[in-house]
Structure 1
Amino acid sequence: MRVLNCLPDPRVGGPQLRALSVAEKLRERGIETSFLLPNGTDAFEQRTVERGFDVYRPDLPRLRPPHRIGANARHLANLPSSTRQIARVFDAASADVAHVNGPLNVQAGIAAAADDVPLVWHFNDTSMSWPVTRIAAAVATRLADEIVVAADAVDDHYFSADSSHRTIYAPVDVNAFDPDRIDPSVDRLPEAVNVDSERTVIGAIGNLNPIKGYEYLLRATRRVVDRHGSVTVLIVGKRLETRAEYVRRLERLRSKLDLDGIVHFLGHRSDVAEMLALFDIFVLSSVAEACPMAVLEAMAMRRPIVATDVGGVSEQIRDGTHGWVVPPKESGSLATAVSQAICQSEERRRRGKRARRRAERVFSLARCADRHERAYLAAVDGEPAAEDVSPSTVS
């Protein structure tokens, strides 16, 4: 079987990394994946080609943030041309299945349907608002052979209450993210970062993007420092050119809260597992997510987790069992949960161990590849494929 995976963004991010890791696992089963990317950075293409996968890049415009009205208008104006280009790629790739990622990747969905290629449409985002959500859901329902969602919460966000689609959670490589194999060396940190045995290290991972809610983490940090004193906060994430003003706001807020020597923006890092090994507590402060891979990686690394209840987070971890789950956009609640984790060292270790076991049982790369394979077979055969056990039944 040959799959053409159509991604709406060429940058390295959660959906891209998920697609590549699953493609490598499926290759072991005789399922070959190629990738279709729009214009933009070459970082993900380079990584994909290095691992032996074909990448197709016709001259396709990329969707921009909602405020880029002109750019998105041009994107829509080019829809007929883009659809024809993508249809030619389906032929060149000899695709048996089209895997369309993103609710607004409409041209790829239309091209697959017009070319009579079985279509799996993957909804992996919760940042869209009404009426875009309903329009995207209606188009996918009409065109797709199989609709999959990154979490049950994503299904609820786009589709009516009486609908139900195949849930494919993002995976984590529990072998690569294994705390028993990773050295938590402070030598990896810049000299300016103060980490010692007396300090609690709080960490977050994710690009500096407004949906990550880092302003709430900074305000929560001020409260935690006032209560506990010796704290260091490490934020690992790329500074996006398109979000430069947001980064400046974070830096101004850090100074205003007198956190300049406490909160450190470390930029993009390729040693994520090693960074996680340094964290005493992992924090996700997001205001919107689908199935955040950073949470899964923290689970695999046995880190105690404090996370906001957005998207599929409460499907990943249960409050009180695998971590602390708090409302989004509430710095006070975030600070209280972090303080509890600091004070309850035995409890945070217990929750970290349970999170690792859950990552192994529910969110492993092998389990994710199984779900992808079943979705592809269902799209090709036109019949539902049997599902495995629901994550809600696994502790």
Structure 2
Amino acid sequence: MERFVISLAAALSSRGWRTTIYCTQRGGPLLAAAADLNIEAKVLPFETKWDNLAPRRLIREMRADGIQLVHSQNGNWLAAAVAARWLNIPLLHTEHGLEGPREHWKLVLQKRAAAALTGRLVAVSQSLQRQLKDQLGLSLSRIQVIPNGIDTAVYRPDAAARQSLRQELGIGPDTVLIGALARLHPLKGIDVLAEAAALIPAETPVAIVVAGDGDERTRVEAIAARSAVPFKLLGMRSDIARLLQGFDALVLPSRSEALPIALLEGMASRRPIIATSVGEMPHIVQAGAGLVVPPQNPAALAKAIVEMVQQHERRAAFGSTASAIAEERFGITAMVDSYIQAYHDLLNR
């Protein structure tokens, strides 16, 4: 989601929109990325459970900054809705995915309250649109679908980047590098990936790396200690495009997803995909971009990884198809155009 925010803010800035990012949590790579792109970003950490209902500091900052429209993301929807209503400015909210198959009833109540204060609700996939319809009691017409998009040019093949990344990680030319880009959270299924690694025979020429961090790190490390093949947690990384150049395949072992940015980045980088059958991923990957496995199934995931390792020509075919799909369906221009039109619709009401 952070990469979505940065890429959208950068694209909007390039088209003459003044953007300010408000972060309600400390830490993470978003601030550095924003600074690199000369995008204003402010940290306004939420300290108590009441900050969602009475985001006084957020309201003060938005008023001082002359904000005319709010675009919120998962996490603090209600706070953004309260602030926008208090300032009498329109709110567009993008939902990127649910926190599991069944979210806590308190969160659902918060989201329903926020939806009542929201001028435009956007889902990043049709499957998520249907989930939100049922969860929030809204008609489909109240939920616009705008698929995520990326600047595919950033992810074009780069032999030098590939070589330097593999040298950094100590990966030889005969080893197939399977990579994941995910926070270490139960929804992302990195624990399932570690369980799968423990099932892969030691003689398999594969190494697995994960770029990301989170509360699950200690648990994942304990599971990965049983693996006979190399399994390494890289922590937070900002060089996503370079990492993808070094990977031979991208794995997304999620328990729940909608349309993850990491999937699109991997496809644009010509990387074959191994993904779970959740959200929009199977519909995209099964079009020839890779392999699909059931969620929470380490044995099936291990089998798919071994299959991907053993079939070089098939990996290349998957990667070629993945790249074509990304170019045709998930470029950033269409996404930004759709959001700008939605902004104008709200501002002109």
TM-score (norm 1): 0.78
Return the match for 1:248 from 210, 218, 225: 218
Are 2:2 and 1:26 equivalent residues in the alignment?
no
Shift of 1:312: 3.0
Identity %: 25
Report what 2:93 is aligned to.
Answer: 121
Contact map agreement 2:205 2:309 (CA 8 A) in 1: no
Q: Deviations over 1:25-70 (max 9, x none)?
A: 1222222211222252375334324422333445x415xxxxxxxx
Question: Tell me, what secondary structure is at the counterpart of 2:71?
Answer: strand
Deviations 1:264-283 (A, max 9, x none): 22223333222222222211
Task: Tell me how far apart the structure 2 counterparts of residues 269 and 79 of structure 1 sit (CA, whole Å).
Answer: 29
User: What aligned pairs does 1:1-395 form with structure 2 within 5 A after superposition?
Assistant: 15-41=1-27, 43-58=29-44, 60-61=45-46, 74-76=48-50, 78-79=51-52, 81-82=54-55, 84-102=56-74, 104-127=76-99, 129-132=103-106, 134-160=108-134, 162-164=139-141, 165-180=143-158, 183-186=161-164, 189-190=167-168, 193=170, 195-225=171-201, 229-238=204-213, 240=214, 243=215, 246-259=216-229, 262-315=230-283, 317-382=284-349
Q: How far apart are the structure 2 equivalents of 1:256 and 1:322?
A: 30
Cα distance change of structure 1 residues 29 and 167 upon mapping to structure 2, 3 Å threshold: same
- How many positions carry a matched residue from both structures? 343
The answer as to whether partners of 2:155 and 2:265 remain within 8 angstroms in 1 is yes
Measure the CA separation in 1 of the matches of 2:104 and 2:54. Answer: 27
Q: Unaligned 5+ residue runs, structure 1? A: 1-14, 63-73, 383-395
RMSD, matched Cα: 2.5
Contact 1:208 1:247 in 2 (8 A): yes
Cα deviation 1:348-386 (Å, max 9, x = unaligned): 22221111111112211222211211221222234xxxx
Q: Is the 8 A contact 1:182 1:274 kept in 2?
A: no
Question: What's the CA shift for 1:318?
Answer: 3.1
TM-score normalised by the chain length of structure 2: 0.88
Contact 1:103 1:122 in 2 (8 A): no
Counterpart-to-counterpart distance in 2, 1:43 and 1:104: 18
**CA displacement 1:8-37 (0-9 Å, x = unmatched):** xxxxxxx22211211111222222211222
Aligned equivalent of 1:4: none
Cα contact 1:103–1:136 (8 A) shared by 2:
no
Higher mean alpha-carbon deviation, 33-42 vs 321-330, is at 33-42
CA distance, structure 2, for counterparts of residue 137 and residue 157 of structure 1: 13
Distance in 1, matches of 2:266 and 2:84, equals: 36
**Over residues 90-142 of structure 1, what are the superposed CA-to-partner deviations in whole Å (9 max), with x where a residue is unaligned?**
32222221112125421220121232201101212311515246424422331
Please tell me whether the aligned partners of residues 307 and 324 of structure 1 are also in contact (alpha carbons under 8 angstroms): yes
After TM superposition, the runs of 4+ consecutive aligned structure 1 residues lying more than 6 A away are none
Q: Secondary structure at the match of 1:45?
A: helix
C-alpha contact (below 8 Å) 2:174/2:205 kept by paired residues? yes
Rate the CA distance shift 1:272–1:182 in 2: closer, same or farther, 3 A. farther
Is the 8 Å Cα contact of residues 20 and 40 (structure 2) preserved in structure 1? yes
Query: Deviations along 1:313-338, whole A, 9 cap, x unmatched?
Result: 235x2315121121110112212222
Cα pair 1:103 1:124 within 8 Å, conserved: no
- Displacement after TM superposition at 1:229 (Å): 2.1
Letter of the aligned partner of 2:146 in structure 1?
Answer: I
